[in-house]
Structure 1
Amino acid sequence: MIELKDRLYTSTEVAEVLGVSLRSVYRYLEEGKLNAEVKTATGRHRFTKQNIVDFLYPDGEKKVQARPKVLDTSIISEEEPKAPIVAEEEAEEVIEVEQEPAKKEAKEETVDWLSKFREAAKKFEEERISAQKEEDPEVEKQQKVTPEKTDNISDLLSEESEPEEKEEKAAEPSVTPLYYRSKLGGLKDVAQSLDKNARESGLKYAFTLNAGLSLFKPIKPFSTLHSYVTSGDQEFFERTLMLVPSDEANAQLCLLISDNNSLYADRVELHGLQVVSREQLLQDVRQYGDEVLLSEAESVLG
């Protein structure tokens, strides 16, 4: 019998112990062959030593002397992405992401990649703000006194309310846009990978603007996906989608960081992907989209 420690194991660790894929572990759960001791609020499963032993030895076999199996939790199985339902500016070649050998991945795991990513993102944001101030020193003052209406999604989402307004009414949930390019490939690869990773990890997301409207009807090609995700899941998507910071003009993906529960509670599923409600989509297009996109949205969403 495999020697295991008395602790909780993740689905990935159980897959490693059993020598199967992560998809097989989920299938065993659905078929009732494998039981999970704990299921978190986000849908993740946690297994005890006894859960694993019961699966391996359903008839209560006697222990077999064997060397303990060392878990390598640094390797996470990835499944083939689903077919995307997102219109693109042009057909893009699918880039296969080959898995590196276990030793190489383990070595790369020792690098504090997330810290380097945060430093790069922070530096990029500081340079962007500095450039805006140099172009127009009065912009910051004008925004605080009388915010002007603009079609720039970055400015609209990042405006701050006057202190007096915050005291008079409860502050609405904020939305922060973050722009990226992905090393996975084109928009189709990014969209299907976002959906796959979110479903496997029990996380919430919802497409909006061009990506969202394209799930309701065919629209003109576009170059940027927009998707709402929660602040707690931001780092997960940055890591699994292999994202690097980008400016708005060259971005493939814009993560709209929002913890507004109604965005995710009212979302709907179309063609296997999650999209905000019809009302929220029309509201977003009116606020951030151009006239052409608004015309298409109103013809479908009313």
Structure 2
Amino acid sequence: MIKLENKLYSSTEVAEVLGVSLRSVYRYLEEGKLDAEVKTATGRHRFTRQNILDFLYPTGLPEDEKIIEGPATEPTLVSTPKKVARPVEEAVAIAEEEVIKPKEEEVAPKIEEKVKPVEKEEVKEEEPVDWLAKFREAAKKFEEKASEEVTGLGASEPEVEEKEESKILYYRSRLGGLKDIAQNIDKTSKNSGLDYAFTLNAGLSLYRPINPFSTLHVYIRSKDKDFFERILALTSSDESSAQLCMIISDDEAVYSGSEELHGLRVVDKKRLVEDIGKMDENLLKDAESILK
């Protein structure tokens, strides 16, 4: 005989009535085998007597079952008792409605630092300055220095003109071989009104055929460096594998003294010999014989 009061049962009470664990009650809810009449705002379930009967007898009460009318608060049900198989569950049940109160954080007491009062610095009174005496002393020194420099008038030291140093950069070009690079330098320079002049092997070959070489040497102005790098599709390289050597120089004499041979600009003979002597001594003898 199972006594069921006409009230709302908690999940724990339903587990006791059914003889199963609390975890089984939650599983029955998830599988839809057991319905809860009420779900509170905090997510807890409440079951009526009818919810429990519907779970025990999902197809309805058998004919041999009788309900004995009793007080509204404690109705009884007389029936042929049926054993409900209790599934094997884990020994540990989930505790319901357990509220964990957060621990209050301990607040460390504030330590007030004592601020030492700033001591006032003693202001020393400046002694009065005798400006008249200082002026007289300065004037006396100036007169002595002027008398010493009288003998050196007109003997100024000659000014030494600083020669502008050239910057040398090595590149490879995606345009092709040396002939293509040389023709593009000439064409773009004439179209854009820029100065340039070939030297070393490239310059010497314009006077007379020489042995094959692998690097062009050309003078350009510093302001035109970025332009030529872009137009000639240049990438930086080391000296041993370079196709083009740009000598950056703003010396006006380099360009004003250049001349055109076979459609290309080349530095004058004197500068050509000087450049070869500085950069390629092995070529110097050939250059001197060619440029006689």
Q: TM-score, normalised by structure 2?
A: 0.45
Q: Which has the higher helix share?
A: 1
Larger radius of gyration: 2
Larger RCO of the pair (alpha carbons < 8 Å, separation 6+): 1
